[in-house]
Amino acid sequence: MSRKPLIAGNWKMHLSVAQAVELARGLAAEADKHQDREVMLAPAFIALDAVHKAISDSKTFLAAQNVAWAEEGAFTGEVSAPMLRDVGVAMAIIGHSERRQIFGEDDAMINRRIHGALAGGIIPVFCIGETLEQREAEQTFKVLEGQLSAGLADCTAEMVARMVIAYEPVWAIGTGKTASKEQAQEVHGYIRQLLLQKYEKKVAEAVRIVYGGSVKPDNVDALMAQADIDGALVGGAALKFESFARIINFK
Protein backbone atom coordinates (compact mmCIF):
# COMPACT_ATOMS: atom_id res chain seq x y z
CA MET A 1 0.00 0.00 0.00
CA SER A 2 1.38 3.34 -0.90
CA ARG A 3 0.09 5.77 1.68
CA LYS A 4 2.87 8.20 2.51
CA PRO A 5 3.00 8.81 6.27
CA LEU A 6 2.14 12.34 7.35
CA ILE A 7 3.64 13.82 10.50
CA ALA A 8 1.67 16.93 11.38
CA GLY A 9 2.39 19.50 14.06
CA ASN A 10 -0.42 21.60 15.50
CA TRP A 11 1.06 24.52 17.36
CA LYS A 12 -2.33 25.72 18.62
CA MET A 13 -2.18 29.15 20.32
CA HIS A 14 1.55 29.06 21.00
CA LEU A 15 4.75 30.75 19.78
CA SER A 16 5.48 34.25 18.58
CA VAL A 17 5.99 34.81 14.85
CA ALA A 18 9.77 34.82 15.35
CA GLN A 19 9.66 31.61 17.39
CA ALA A 20 7.41 29.93 14.81
CA VAL A 21 9.76 30.90 11.98
CA GLU A 22 12.81 29.58 13.79
CA LEU A 23 11.19 26.29 14.75
CA ALA A 24 9.72 25.80 11.27
CA ARG A 25 13.11 26.35 9.63
CA GLY A 26 14.77 23.72 11.74
CA LEU A 27 11.97 21.19 11.36
CA ALA A 28 11.65 21.68 7.60
CA ALA A 29 15.36 20.96 7.22
CA GLU A 30 14.93 17.82 9.31
CA ALA A 31 11.91 16.76 7.26
CA ASP A 32 13.74 17.23 3.98
CA LYS A 33 16.14 14.45 4.95
CA HIS A 34 13.32 12.01 4.24
CA GLN A 35 11.71 11.02 0.94
CA ASP A 36 9.31 8.50 2.41
CA ARG A 37 7.21 10.76 4.64
CA GLU A 38 5.54 14.15 4.61
CA VAL A 39 5.56 16.82 7.28
CA MET A 40 2.94 19.48 7.94
CA LEU A 41 3.16 22.46 10.31
CA ALA A 42 0.16 24.42 11.55
CA PRO A 43 1.19 27.72 13.16
CA ALA A 44 -1.26 30.34 14.38
CA PHE A 45 -2.82 32.42 11.58
CA ILE A 46 -0.59 35.44 12.24
CA ALA A 47 2.57 33.37 11.66
CA LEU A 48 1.49 31.69 8.42
CA ASP A 49 2.92 34.24 6.02
CA ALA A 50 6.30 34.47 7.73
CA VAL A 51 6.57 30.70 8.15
CA HIS A 52 5.69 30.22 4.50
CA LYS A 53 8.50 32.55 3.46
CA ALA A 54 10.91 30.71 5.76
CA ILE A 55 10.13 27.20 4.48
CA SER A 56 8.89 27.72 0.92
CA ASP A 57 11.98 26.04 -0.52
CA SER A 58 11.32 22.90 1.53
CA LYS A 59 8.82 20.10 1.00
CA THR A 60 7.05 20.76 4.30
CA PHE A 61 3.36 21.59 4.00
CA LEU A 62 1.99 24.68 5.66
CA ALA A 63 -1.39 24.31 7.35
CA ALA A 64 -3.94 26.54 9.03
CA GLN A 65 -5.71 25.50 12.24
CA ASN A 66 -9.14 26.20 10.77
CA VAL A 67 -10.75 27.60 7.62
CA ALA A 68 -13.96 29.50 6.85
CA TRP A 69 -16.65 28.03 4.59
CA ALA A 70 -17.23 31.21 2.62
CA GLU A 71 -14.73 32.82 0.27
CA GLU A 72 -15.22 36.29 1.68
CA GLY A 73 -17.76 38.43 3.46
CA ALA A 74 -18.94 39.61 6.84
CA PHE A 75 -17.49 36.81 8.98
CA THR A 76 -15.60 38.55 11.78
CA GLY A 77 -12.69 36.49 13.04
CA GLU A 78 -12.66 34.01 10.16
CA VAL A 79 -10.09 33.38 7.42
CA SER A 80 -11.07 31.89 4.06
CA ALA A 81 -9.42 29.27 1.87
CA PRO A 82 -8.42 31.77 -0.86
CA MET A 83 -6.84 34.02 1.79
CA LEU A 84 -4.93 31.06 3.16
CA ARG A 85 -3.79 29.99 -0.30
CA ASP A 86 -2.51 33.50 -0.79
CA VAL A 87 0.00 33.01 2.03
CA GLY A 88 1.09 29.55 0.92
CA VAL A 89 -1.23 27.36 2.97
CA ALA A 90 -1.84 23.89 1.53
CA MET A 91 -3.82 22.16 4.28
CA ALA A 92 -6.17 23.02 7.15
CA ILE A 93 -7.11 21.26 10.36
CA ILE A 94 -10.91 21.12 10.56
CA GLY A 95 -13.12 19.88 13.37
CA HIS A 96 -10.42 19.72 16.03
CA SER A 97 -11.97 18.73 19.36
CA GLU A 98 -10.97 22.10 20.83
CA ARG A 99 -13.04 23.80 18.12
CA ARG A 100 -15.92 21.42 18.82
CA GLN A 101 -15.78 21.61 22.62
CA ILE A 102 -14.59 25.12 23.43
CA PHE A 103 -16.03 27.02 20.47
CA GLY A 104 -19.17 24.98 19.91
CA GLU A 105 -18.49 23.95 16.33
CA ASP A 106 -20.89 21.23 15.34
CA ASP A 107 -20.84 18.58 12.63
CA ALA A 108 -22.82 20.74 10.20
CA MET A 109 -20.40 23.65 10.55
CA ILE A 110 -17.44 21.34 10.18
CA ASN A 111 -18.98 19.92 7.03
CA ARG A 112 -19.32 23.42 5.59
CA ARG A 113 -15.70 24.17 6.44
CA ILE A 114 -14.60 20.99 4.67
CA HIS A 115 -16.46 22.08 1.55
CA GLY A 116 -15.00 25.60 1.83
CA ALA A 117 -11.49 24.20 2.11
CA LEU A 118 -11.84 21.86 -0.86
CA ALA A 119 -13.45 24.52 -3.03
CA GLY A 120 -10.49 26.77 -2.31
CA GLY A 121 -7.88 24.11 -3.01
CA ILE A 122 -6.98 23.39 0.61
CA ILE A 123 -6.64 19.81 1.85
CA PRO A 124 -8.73 19.20 4.97
CA VAL A 125 -7.25 17.36 7.92
CA PHE A 126 -10.62 16.33 9.27
CA CYS A 127 -10.58 15.46 12.99
CA ILE A 128 -12.93 13.08 14.75
CA GLY A 129 -12.79 11.51 18.18
CA GLU A 130 -14.79 10.32 21.16
CA THR A 131 -14.77 11.65 24.72
CA LEU A 132 -13.85 9.49 27.70
CA GLU A 133 -17.51 9.31 28.68
CA GLN A 134 -18.47 8.06 25.23
CA ARG A 135 -15.67 5.48 25.26
CA GLU A 136 -16.68 4.21 28.67
CA ALA A 137 -20.29 3.93 27.52
CA GLU A 138 -19.03 1.86 24.55
CA GLN A 139 -20.25 4.49 22.14
CA THR A 140 -16.91 5.03 20.39
CA PHE A 141 -17.75 3.47 17.03
CA LYS A 142 -21.21 5.01 16.94
CA VAL A 143 -19.85 8.50 17.72
CA LEU A 144 -17.13 8.21 15.11
CA GLU A 145 -19.57 6.93 12.51
CA GLY A 146 -21.81 9.92 13.22
CA GLN A 147 -19.00 12.47 13.05
CA LEU A 148 -17.60 10.93 9.90
CA SER A 149 -20.86 10.79 7.96
CA ALA A 150 -21.98 14.26 9.03
CA GLY A 151 -18.58 15.81 8.35
CA LEU A 152 -18.37 14.21 4.93
CA ALA A 153 -21.96 14.97 3.91
CA ASP A 154 -22.23 15.75 0.19
CA CYS A 155 -18.58 14.96 -0.42
CA THR A 156 -17.90 12.86 -3.51
CA ALA A 157 -15.48 9.94 -3.45
CA GLU A 158 -13.04 12.11 -5.36
CA MET A 159 -13.22 14.79 -2.65
CA VAL A 160 -12.77 12.30 0.16
CA ALA A 161 -9.74 10.80 -1.58
CA ARG A 162 -7.97 14.16 -1.24
CA MET A 163 -8.45 14.43 2.53
CA VAL A 164 -6.60 13.36 5.60
CA ILE A 165 -8.65 12.02 8.51
CA ALA A 166 -7.31 12.47 12.03
CA TYR A 167 -8.52 10.17 14.80
CA GLU A 168 -8.04 12.09 18.01
CA PRO A 169 -9.63 10.56 21.09
CA VAL A 170 -10.54 13.60 23.20
CA TRP A 171 -9.35 11.89 26.38
CA ALA A 172 -5.85 11.56 24.93
CA ILE A 173 -5.36 15.16 23.82
CA GLY A 174 -2.93 17.08 26.00
CA THR A 175 -3.48 14.63 28.84
CA GLY A 176 -0.38 12.50 28.44
CA LYS A 177 -2.69 9.48 28.02
CA THR A 178 -2.13 7.98 24.60
CA ALA A 179 -4.45 5.42 23.14
CA SER A 180 -2.53 2.16 23.14
CA LYS A 181 -1.33 1.08 19.73
CA GLU A 182 -4.00 -1.63 19.79
CA GLN A 183 -6.79 0.82 20.69
CA ALA A 184 -5.67 3.23 17.98
CA GLN A 185 -5.30 0.52 15.33
CA GLU A 186 -8.73 -0.86 16.16
CA VAL A 187 -10.35 2.52 15.54
CA HIS A 188 -8.27 3.29 12.45
CA GLY A 189 -9.24 -0.07 11.00
CA TYR A 190 -12.88 0.71 11.75
CA ILE A 191 -12.66 4.14 10.06
CA ARG A 192 -11.12 2.56 6.99
CA GLN A 193 -13.90 -0.01 6.98
CA LEU A 194 -16.48 2.81 7.05
CA LEU A 195 -14.75 4.52 4.13
CA LEU A 196 -14.85 1.23 2.27
CA GLN A 197 -18.60 0.90 2.81
CA LYS A 198 -19.37 4.49 1.82
CA TYR A 199 -16.93 4.94 -1.05
CA GLU A 200 -14.91 2.73 -3.32
CA LYS A 201 -11.96 0.57 -2.27
CA LYS A 202 -9.56 2.94 -4.00
CA VAL A 203 -10.69 5.77 -1.72
CA ALA A 204 -10.54 3.72 1.48
CA GLU A 205 -7.02 2.64 0.62
CA ALA A 206 -5.82 6.08 -0.40
CA VAL A 207 -7.04 8.18 2.53
CA ARG A 208 -4.47 8.73 5.22
CA ILE A 209 -5.78 8.24 8.73
CA VAL A 210 -3.46 9.87 11.25
CA TYR A 211 -3.54 9.46 15.01
CA GLY A 212 -3.48 12.36 17.47
CA GLY A 213 -3.46 12.52 21.24
CA SER A 214 -0.27 12.67 23.31
CA VAL A 215 1.99 11.40 20.55
CA LYS A 216 5.53 11.59 21.90
CA PRO A 217 9.04 10.52 20.89
CA ASP A 218 8.66 7.40 23.03
CA ASN A 219 5.38 6.13 21.58
CA VAL A 220 5.53 7.26 17.96
CA ASP A 221 7.40 4.21 16.62
CA ALA A 222 4.89 1.73 18.02
CA LEU A 223 1.93 3.75 16.73
CA MET A 224 3.43 4.18 13.28
CA ALA A 225 4.04 0.43 13.01
CA GLN A 226 0.26 -0.22 12.95
CA ALA A 227 -1.24 -1.15 9.60
CA ASP A 228 -3.87 1.58 9.46
CA ILE A 229 -2.01 4.39 11.23
CA ASP A 230 -0.66 6.61 8.49
CA GLY A 231 0.76 9.43 10.53
CA ALA A 232 0.46 11.55 13.61
CA LEU A 233 -1.13 14.86 14.53
CA VAL A 234 0.98 16.22 17.34
CA GLY A 235 0.27 19.10 19.72
CA GLY A 236 2.50 19.52 22.77
CA ALA A 237 5.45 17.52 21.45
CA ALA A 238 5.47 19.57 18.23
CA LEU A 239 6.48 22.73 20.08
CA LYS A 240 10.07 21.71 20.76
CA PHE A 241 12.60 21.02 18.04
CA GLU A 242 14.11 17.93 19.68
CA SER A 243 10.86 16.15 20.35
CA PHE A 244 9.19 16.90 17.03
CA ALA A 245 12.37 16.11 15.08
CA ARG A 246 12.41 12.71 16.79
CA ILE A 247 8.77 12.17 15.84
CA ILE A 248 9.51 13.16 12.23
CA ASN A 249 12.37 10.65 12.31
CA PHE A 250 10.10 7.83 13.50
CA LYS A 251 11.42 4.35 12.73
Q: Could you tell me if 126 and 114 are in contact, meaning their C-beta atoms sit under 8 angstroms apart?
A: yes
Report the residue closest to ligand PGA, judged by CB: 235
Judged on CB neighbours under 10 Å (0-12, 13-18, 19+), 144 is buried
- 233 belongs to the binding site for ligand PGA (CB under 6 A): yes
Taking the complex as a whole, the smallest distance from the CB of residue 110 to ligand PGA amounts, in Å, to 15
Stretch that binds ligand PGA, among 19-27, 76-84, 189-197, 207-215 (CB under 6 A): 207-215
Stretch that binds ligand PGA, among 104-112, 118-126, 183-191, 209-217 (CB under 6 A): 209-217
Stretch that binds ligand PGA, among 26-34, 137-145, 151-159, 233-241 (CB under 6 A): 233-241
Residue 241: φ, ψ to 5°? -55, -50
Which residues are identified as catalytic?
96, 168
**Residue among 103, 97, 115, 53 nearest 77 (CA):** 103
Q: Residue 160 or 237: which CB sits closer to ligand PGA?
A: 237
- 213 belongs to the binding site for ligand PGA (CB under 6 A): yes
- 168 belongs to the binding site for ligand PGA (CB under 6 A): yes
- 212 belongs to the binding site for ligand PGA (CB under 6 A): yes
Size of the site for ligand PGA (CB under 6 A): 13
- 43 belongs to the binding site for ligand PGA (CB under 6 A): no
Stretch that binds ligand PGA, among 19-27, 68-76, 154-162, 166-174 (CB under 6 A): 166-174
- 247 belongs to the binding site for ligand PGA (CB under 6 A): no
Choose, by CB under 6 A, the member of 110, 148, 215, 223 that binds ligand PGA.
215
State the Cα–Cα distance between residues 94 and 163, nearest whole angstrom: 11
Q: Residue 168 or 230: which CB sits closer to ligand PGA?
A: 168
Q: At what angle do helices 140-151 and 107-119 cross, to 10 degrees?
A: 40
Choose, by CB under 6 A, the member of 83, 114, 173, 203 that binds ligand PGA.
173
- 10 belongs to the binding site for ligand PGA (CB under 6 A): yes
Q: Could you tell me if 7 and 19 are in contact, meaning their C-beta atoms sit under 8 angstroms apart?
A: no
Distances (CA, A) of 233 to 10, 189, 210, 213: 7, 17, 6, 7
State the Cα–Cα distance between residues 7 and 230, nearest whole angstrom: 9
- 39 belongs to the binding site for ligand PGA (CB under 6 A): no
Distances (CA, A) of 163 to 17, 137, 157, 205: 28, 30, 10, 12
- 15 belongs to the binding site for ligand PGA (CB under 6 A): no
* Pure H helices in 74-208: 81-86, 97-102, 107-119, 132-136, 140-151, 157-161, 181-198, 201-206
Taking the complex as a whole, the smallest distance from the CB of residue 168 to ligand PGA amounts, in Å, to 6
Residues near ligand PGA, by CB under 6 A = 10, 168, 173-174, 212-215, 233-237
